[in-house]
Amino acid sequence: MERKKVAVIGAGPAGLTAAYELAKDPSIEVSVYECGDGPGGMCKSLRLWDCTVDVGPHRFFSYDARVNGLWLEVAGKDYKMVNRLTRIYYRGRFFRYPIAPFDALKKVGLWTAVQCVCSYLKERIAPLRSDGSFETWVCHRFGKKLYRMFFKTYSEKLWGMNCRDLDDDFASQRIKKLSLAAVVVNACKGGKTSHKTLVDAFAYPTGGTGEVYRKMAAAVIDRGGKVYYNTKIRGLEIADGAARGIVFDVDGARAYFDQIVVTMPLTEVLPTMAGVPEAVLQKASGLRYRNTVMVYLQVEGTALFPDNWLYVHSPELQMGRITNFRNWVPELYGDTNYTVLAVEYWCNEEDERWQWPDQAFIQLAAEELRSTGLLKNGRVLDGAVYRVPKSYPAYHKGYRDNLTPVEDYLKTIGHCHFIGRYGAFKYNNQDHSILMGWMAAQNIRFGAGYDLWAVNTDYDNYQEASLIRDEMMNIDERVKE
C-alpha cells in the first residue's frame, strides 16, 4: 500500500510532537522542515561556555494525562524534578511569587500595604467598568495599587503597549482564576497555591529542555521519517479548497503531500495561499508578534542568587526577566565554576533596538544587572546574544476581531492543520503545544475530530487529573494517574 505523505512545517514542540506521533504509523511517511539549524524551536537548548542553556526559562508541567504520558515516553529517565523559586524584583527588593501577603507587607511598609488593601476593597465596593483591557481585568481582581506595582510595568515591557491597549484575554489565559482574596486565605492557612502557572516543582530534562525535542526528531528518523534543517518554507500550494503541497523559499520548488501540519506564523502563510479573500488578508495583517532578545552573560561565581528566574518589575530597568541556569540541574553546568545568566529584552520588528549590535545588548544587560546587586562582586567574563523573532503573539485589545475571521477561513482549508504558538496565534505553554501536536496527529491518523483551535482558550475541557511526580522517576513503567 502506498504510504500517506505528511509534511510538518516547523520542528518546535507542536510540530515535532505531531511528527513523532505520526511516525509511529507505518502507513505514514513524515517529512519535517525546519528553518533553524536544529530541533526545539523556542524550546531548544544551546551550548555556551561548556554549559547547556535554554532560550529562557522553560519548565514542563501539565495536568493532562496524554501530555504527561507522551513527555515521559520521550524523556525516559533523563529528567529530574526541580523545586521552583521565582521572585519579583521591584525597586531593589525581592517579593515572593506568587505574592505572599506577609512577605509583601514587611517589604513595602505599613503605609503602602494599607494603600494596597484600601485599593482592593474599593474595587470590591465600586469596581471599574470593564473595557476589555488587561488593566481593568487586573485592577478589578487586585486593586489599582497592586496592579501598578506588580503587573503594569512588566506587562508593558513584554508587550510594548499600554496595558489599556492589551486585551484581557492575556489575563484570563495566563492569570486565570487567581485572586488576591484566594492568595490571602491560602497564605493564612499556610497552604500552597494550586494555581496552574504557579506550581512549586516541575519536571526538567537533564540535557536541557531541547533534549526532549532532539529525542523526538531522532525517533522520527529512526522510524523512516525525514527531518530537514536550515530549510525555509515560503508557503502552501492550495487547490480545490485544500492544501496540496509546500513551496520552498530559496528556489520556489514544490513538494506535494496528502496532509500538511503548519507551525510557521499564520501571518506569513496566508499571503502565499491562492484564493484567500482580501478581507481575510486584511484581518491577518492586523495581527502582530513580539520579538525576544536573549542576552547570555558568563559571570564569575556560583551562588549569585537562588531563583530559577526573576521577573523584573522595576520601571527604571529595561530588562524583563532573568534566568539563572545554575539553579536548575547540575548536568547543565557540570564542573564549571561560573554562572550563566539569561537576560530578556523584548521589541517589535520595526524597533531600532531589534537592529542593535550584539555588543550593545551585552553592555546594557551587564550594566543593568550590576545596578541590581545581583552580580555581587562577580565580573562579567563574556556575553552572547540569541534573537527570537515573532516569539509572542501580541494580544492587542480587540485582536480577536482580526483573528476570528482568519480562524474561520483556515477551518475551511482541507488537509491542513494549524498548530503551535505561531501557527494558531496562541500564547501557548509547552504543554499546550504538545497537546496540539498530539491532537493533530490523531486527527490525521484516525479522524479523531479534535478542535485544535480550542486548545488553550478553553483548555480545562481537555484536562484530566495527572501529574509527573518525583517518585515516578524510580519506576520503569510510567503510569498515568
Bridge partners of 255, per DSSP, are 246
Tens-place pLDDT, residues 109-155 = 888 888 888 998 999 898 888 899 999 999 988 899 989 988 999 99
Calpha distance 188→196 (Å, rounded): 20
Calpha distance 87→84 (Å, rounded): 10
- Is the overall model pTM greater than 0.85, yes or no? yes
Calpha distance 430→61 (Å, rounded): 8
Within 8 A by CB and 6+ apart from 354, the residues are 291, 293, 347, 348, 387
Of 207, 274, 285, 279, the residue nearest 237 (C-alpha): 274
Tens-place pLDDT, residues 336-391 = 999 999 999 999 999 999 999 999 999 999 999 999 999 999 999 999 999 999 99
Tens-place pLDDT, residues 227-280 = 999 999 999 999 999 999 999 998 999 999 999 999 999 999 999 999 999 999
- pLDDT grade for 469, boundaries at 50, 70 and 90: low
Mean of all residue pLDDT scores within the chain: 90
Higher pLDDT, 466 or 22: 22
pLDDT of residue 478: 37
**Percent of the chain surpassing pLDDT 90:** 77
pLDDT of residue 355: 96
* Across 282-289, average pLDDT: 96
Calpha distance 169→123 (Å, rounded): 20
Per-residue pLDDT for 196 more than 80? no
Can you name the CATH fold of 4-44+64-73+203-286+396-473? Answer: FAD/NAD(P)-binding domain (3.50.50)
Domain spans in the chain, listed from the N-terminal domain onward: 4-44+64-73+203-286+396-473, 99-193
- pLDDT grade for 476, boundaries at 50, 70 and 90: very low
pLDDT of residue 110: 82
Output the furthest CA–CA distance in the chain (Å, rounded).
76
